[in-house]
Structure 1
Amino acid sequence: MPSQIPTTAPATTPTSTPTSTASSAATPVPVGIQGSWHEVFADEFNGTSLDTSKWNPNWLGCGTCTTPPVNSSEQDAYAPSQVSVGGGSLHLAMAQEPTTVNGKTYPYRSGLVESSGKAQFTYGAFEARIYLPPGSGGVANWPAFWTDGQSWPTDGEMDVMEGLEGQACYHFHSPSGGPGGCASGDYSGWHTYGADWEPGSVTYYYDGKEVGQITTGITSAPQYLILNNGLNSSDAQPVAPSDMQVDYVRVWQH
């Protein structure tokens, strides 16, 4: 799970999805990641509802349940009502709406999708084109695109992108730690985030450019996909309502 704390200020979120050249390609390939690849998973979100053969609309709960957050530092519960598909995008909407789950009330309700039990992978190129709501000088709240194994942290966790203190950051968590870093620049709005997970290394690409590499603690157990529009309890000025949008998610392997 994303494990650091962002602090950002409110800003306005657009509701439309610009046309993506990558998502409309006849044979999509990873942006900037070299090698010979074949696609093993894709969701272009071109329909009118979530494909539940690929995704669960909350955090490891029943299909219609509102679930507690992933991390105890979050202010938001995750509800299927905050997940929708339209206009060529997945929408993960956050609202300031007190929500009680298991006797605890969270001040916000938000959207998450994950593929546990439906799609998981060991190694490959992982990529998503995502709109991140803007805050003060960068990314708002605690949005993330990541993968996780069934036994954390033994099986590993690959954070392809998580918004931290306005920046877009990457990590790989395992029993030996959680090394990583953050890319320079403002990654609010539409950008493409990718990771090449190979035996012993993960290399991260933002908009097709390499931004970092991790070569310690890289695990080999299968991991499933997760996208969530999170909010940390330390964020004094959250952006809500906000809409994290996803144009596509794709996975390739050699």
Structure 2
Amino acid sequence: MNPRQLFLTCCMMAALAMPAALRAQTVPTVPSGPVPVWSDEFDYTGFPDSTKWGYDTGGHGWGNEEWQFYTKQRKENIWVENGKLIIEARKENFEGRNFTSARLVSKGKGEWQYGRIEVRAKLPRGRGTWPAIWMLSANPEKWPDDGEIDILEHVGYNQGTVHGTVHTKKYNHTIGTQVGDTIVFNDLSDKFHVYSLDWNADSIRVSVDNKTYFTFKNDGSGPDAWPFDKKMYLILNIAVGGSWGGQKGVDDTAFPARMEIDYVRVYK
């Protein structure tokens, strides 16, 4: 008998020994399954809920030689309608850049340590698009030492391949030790799929439609390998071009390109 079963058995035996009037008040209820703690169902219109989301803005390349300028509350790049969040990358001259897009962040408004995160989304199509659903440390000091979890990355020149990855001081692409995996779906830009992360003190699991394809385990060696014992926040964005997304160029005719998000749900 496991500890939970033993606990329930003892409680039930004690309850049965009590008078009936007290019994209903003393039998414990033990939660089962994930407990919702934060969500956005996008059941409104206009800009994303400012109590839940903020923006990263600018066009300095974001460490990846990206081509876009990220805007803030600009109706051409981000809006909510018909129960969906829309992030749209556009080809246009803006602040010295030839593309615009949006990068939505929950920093300071939604930050979590461990749990399950689900995002139901439909991805853009086209060479040069680079949509992502990912997480960074809520109190960053130095990347990648603080950790990064990529729940989804998709580069348009490799249509249909979903990438799940972690970045740490010990494991990252700048030193050739990046850890991750992929799964292929042929309809990513035609249908919605649920991209999810299950994260606890022992492991990180990344899935699409509950199909887990990447697992990263805490080997107990310390923060160089596992910095994921602190709060992190969520990021939703479409980058354009860049050191990875632009490896095979950018197809100008693919724009405007949008990512549609049906919901974001976080469970304890």
Give TM class, smaller chain: 0.7 to 0.9
Q: How many angstroms apart in 2 are the aligned matches of 1:106 and 1:67?
A: 7
The match for 1:110 is 101
Larger relative contact order (Cα-Cα within 8 Å, sequence gap ≥ 6) = 1
Which structure has the greater CA radius of gyration?
2
Q: Does 1:237 align with 2:237?
A: no
Q: How many angstroms apart in 2 are the aligned matches of 1:223 and 1:68?
A: 23
The match for 1:221 is 230
Deviation of 1:52 (Å):
0.3
Matches for 1:58-97 after TM superposition, within 5 Å: 58-59=55-56, 68-80=60-72, 81=74, 82-97=77-92
Q: How many angstroms apart in 2 are the aligned matches of 1:155 and 1:38?
A: 27
Q: Does 1:250 align with 2:265?
A: yes
Structure 1 residues without counterparts, runs of 5 or longer: 1-34
Tell me the number of residue pairs that the alignment of Structure 1 and Structure 2 aligns: 206
The match for 1:120 is 111
Structure (1/2) with the larger helix percentage: 2
Q: Does 1:134 align with 2:125?
A: yes
Deviation of 1:237 (Å):
1.8
Q: How many angstroms apart in 1 are the aligned matches of 2:122 and 2:79?
A: 15
Q: Does 1:188 align with 2:176?
A: no
Deviation of 1:67 (Å):
5.5
CA contact (8 A) 2:59 2:68 kept: no
Deviation of 1:188 (Å):
2.5
CA contact (8 A) 2:196 2:206 kept: yes
The match for 2:163 is 169
Q: How many angstroms apart in 2 are the aligned matches of 1:40 and 1:175?
A: 30
Identity of aligned residues (%): 28
CA contact (8 A) 2:136 2:232 kept: yes
Task: Give the aligned residue type for 2:65.
Answer: S
Q: How many angstroms apart in 2 are the aligned matches of 1:143 and 1:46?
A: 23
Aligned-residue Cα RMSD (Å) equals 1.9
Deviation of 1:184 (Å):
2.3
Q: Among residues 51, 54, 57, which one is paired with 2:52 in the alignment? A: 54
The match for 1:38 is 35
CA contact (8 A) 2:59 2:67 kept: no
TM-score (norm 2): 0.72
Q: How many angstroms apart in 2 are the aligned matches of 1:221 and 1:84?
A: 31
Structure 2 residues without counterparts, runs of 5 or longer: 1-31, 172-177, 219-224
